[in-house]
Amino acid sequence: GLEISPIEEIKGGNLNYNLKIMNDLLNNNASRGLTNSILMNASLAFMSYGRTKDLTEGVSIAKRLLRDGVVKNWLNQVTSFFK
For the segment 16-55, what is each residue's pLDDT rounded down to a tens digit?
Answer: 999 999 999 999 999 999 999 999 999 999 999 999 999 9
- Give the residue-averaged pLDDT of 63-82: 94
Q: Which spans in the chain are helix H?
A: 15-26, 32-49, 55-67, 70-81
pTM > 0.75: yes or no: yes
Tell me the C-alpha distance between 33 and 21, whole Å: 12
Residue 11 pLDDT more than 90?
yes
Residue 5 pLDDT more than 90?
yes
Write phi, then psi, for 52 (nearest 5 degrees): -130, 160
